Amino acid sequence: MESRRKWPKIIANDRDLVVTNLGHLAHGVGAKYLEVITAHNGDLVAVAWRRKILDSIPSDHILIEMK
């Protein structure tokens, strides 16, 4: 059965990425992904740390993969 679900975009972590709201999140111990959204001005705003990609993550969110 083919899935029609749109998955969130996954990008690699980069030192040039500017993510706001990181100080308001709990520490992401063991997390592989940082879930972010794009603000109206184009800034990336942190939403949650994730250990795996969940089905409940909206497709308009972005996952930053921490390697």
Q: Are residues 62 and 45 in contact, defined by beta-carbon separation less than 8 angstroms?
A: no
| Segment 35-62, tens digit of pLDDT | 999 999 999 999 999 999 999 999 999 9
Predicted TM-score (pTM) of this structure = 0.87
| Segment 8-38, tens digit of pLDDT | 999 999 999 999 999 999 988 899 999 999 9
In the predicted model, is pLDDT for residue 3 greater than 80? no
Q: What is the pLDDT of residue 27?
A: 86
Residues 6+ apart with CB under 8 A from 16: none
Q: What is the pLDDT of residue 2?
A: 64
pLDDT band at 67 (very low <50, low <70, confident <90, very high): confident
Q: Are residues 57 and 35 in contact, defined by beta-carbon separation less than 8 angstroms?
A: yes
Domain residue spans in the chain? 9-65
Phi-psi region of 24 (alpha: psi -120 to 50; beta: other; left: phi over 0): alpha
